[in-house]
Amino acid sequence: MKEMVSSSTFRAPGGLGFLGPSKIGLIPLRNRSGVRSRVKYIAPKCAVSSARPASQPRFIQHKKEAFWFYRFLSIVYDHVINPGHWTEDMRDDALEPAELYHHGLKVVDVGGGTGFTTLGIVKHVDNENVTLLDQSPHQLEKARQKVALNGVNIIEGDAEDLPYPTDTFDRYVSAGSIEYWPDPQRGIREAYRVLKLGGVACLIGPVHPTFWLSRFFADMWMLFPKEEEYIEWFQKAGFQDVKIKRIGPKWYRGVRRHGLIMGCSVTGVKRSSGDSPLQLGPKAEDVEKPVNPFTFIFRFVMGTICASYYVLVPIYMWMKDQIVPKDQPI
Q: What is the pLDDT of residues 35-46, one digit of tens each?
A: 444 443 444 433
Summarize pLDDT for 261-283 with one digit per residue, the tens.
778 999 999 999 999 999 998 77
Write the pLDDT tens digit of every residue in 177-199: 998 888 899 999 999 999 999 99
pLDDT of residue 67: 63
**For position 38, what pLDDT does the model report?**
43
Most confident of 70-84, 89-103, 282-296: 89-103
Query: Does residue 263 or residue 108 have the better pLDDT?
Result: 108
Integer Cα distance of 316 and 313 in angstroms? 5
Q: What is the mean pLDDT of residues 87-108?
A: 95
What's the predicted TM-score (pTM) here?
Answer: 0.75
112: left (phi over 0), alpha (psi -120 to 50) or beta: alpha
Average pLDDT (72-86) is 58
| Chain CA centroid to CA 156, Å | 18
Contacts of 57 (CB under 8 A, 6+ apart): 219, 220, 299, 302
State what percent of residues in the chain have pLDDT above 90.
42
Distances (CA, A) of 3 to 27, 28, 30, 121: 16, 12, 11, 23
Which of 136 and 294 is assigned the larger pLDDT? 136
Distance between CA atoms of residues 111 and 204, nearest Å:
11
Q: Mean pLDDT over all residues of the chain?
A: 77
- Looking at the structure, give the CATH architecture of the domain made up of residues 61-271+289-319: 3-Layer(aba) Sandwich (3.40)
Mean pLDDT, rounded, for 144-172: 96
Domain boundaries, the chain: 61-271+289-319
Higher pLDDT, 234 or 220: 234
